[in-house]
Amino acid sequence: MHPVLKFGVMFGVTLLLALPLPNFTRSDENVLVATTTSTENSGLLHYLAPKITAALGFSPRFIITGSGKALRLGMNRDVDLVWVHDEAGENTFMTAGHGLRREKIMYNRFVLGGPVADPASVRTASGILEALQRIQDTQSLFVSRGDDSGTHRRERALWRVLNAEHPVLAGAPLDWYRELGSGMGATLNTAMAMRAYTLVDEATWLRRNDQTHFAALFTGDVLLRNPYSLIVVAETGRKAATDKAQRLSDWLISPIGQNTISAYRIDGQQGFFALGKH
């Protein structure tokens, strides 16, 4: 089976799932966007799809993956646009000349989810670092995406701030810490099933939460702010696709696009907040 698997077609926008993309051929007219599992798991892409097509007259194709892999696809010039949430990785990408332009588009926040019983008492922590320290001290089960996504990179950054030589960063086997190598939705489902703690973006949490046994236990910390950016990839050799990527980026950061993103609701709650130019 080809490594690129069609995940589904909704409202004329194709969602593709899997990496890498060797020998993937397509017309220069098609614009291919590498974006995160959280934009798909949250329902945002399905909500935006018909609006993008109606406004621009074309349907982008989305590869759903983690931010790290999305940026690597951009470095390899396999896609025309990346839509990610990894500020350090984005800075490196731009400094290396892989991007024509980078635009801030939206943000939400990460939440620390876990079992309602809260064996590590993270609800009363003064900050996310103390919450993680309590999980470690009590050896309460924690599941990590472990997939080099933006969420995984943020989680590792938090452990690094807590302890620059934390055993989690060294990949040491730990009874209480499990790396799954999974997307956000699958990781959240596993955490719920195992009654484990996990770091999850708020929009995915709102879409999939089961508050009977699992809850968003800690949210209030500036370190949990989760901004997303769009980067138009440089020098792909597909001018028509690059032009469409520019148009798509322009529309998403325009007042209409930003208001459209801000209007997205999950069970009546705002999933993402606009960050682009107005």
pLDDT recorded at residue 113: 95
Distance, first Cα to last Cα, the chain: 45
Q: State pTM to two decimals.
A: 0.85
Is 31 in contact with 79 (CB distance < 8 Å)?
Answer: no
- Give how far the C-alpha of residue 169 lies from the chain's centroid of Cα atoms, to the nearest Å: 20
Q: Model confidence over 124-152: pLDDT tens digits?
A: 999 999 999 999 999 999 999 999 999 99
Q: How far is CA 119 from each of CA 190, 197, 277, rounded to the nearest angstrom?
A: 18, 10, 43
pLDDT recorded at residue 30: 86
Q: Model confidence over 115-129: pLDDT tens digits?
A: 999 999 999 999 999
Q: Is 247 helix (H, G, I), strand (E, B) or coil?
A: helix
Is 242 in contact with 264 (CB distance < 8 Å)?
Answer: no
Q: Model confidence over 138-195: pLDDT tens digits?
A: 999 999 999 999 999 999 999 999 999 999 998 878 999 999 999 888 999 999 999 9
The alpha carbons of the chain give a radius of gyration, in whole angstroms, of 19
Backbone angles phi, psi at 64, to 5 degrees: -100, 115
Q: How many CB atoms are closer than 10 A to CB 239?
A: 9
Residue indicated by tokens 């055993």: 167
**Whole-number Å distance between alpha carbons of 204 and 41:** 6
Q: How many helices (H) and strands (E) does the chain have?
A: 11, 14
Question: What are the structural domains of the chain?
Answer: 5-108+226-274 (3.40.190.10), 110-224 (3.40.190.10)
Residue 6 clears pLDDT 60, i.e. is over it: no
pLDDT recorded at residue 106: 96
**pLDDT tier at 22 (50, 70, 90 boundaries)?**
very low
* Residue from 205, 228, 236 nearest 218 by CA: 205
Q: How many CB atoms are closer than 10 A to CB 267?
A: 8
Is 12 in contact with 59 (CB distance < 8 Å)?
Answer: yes
**Whole-number Å distance between alpha carbons of 107 and 218:** 18
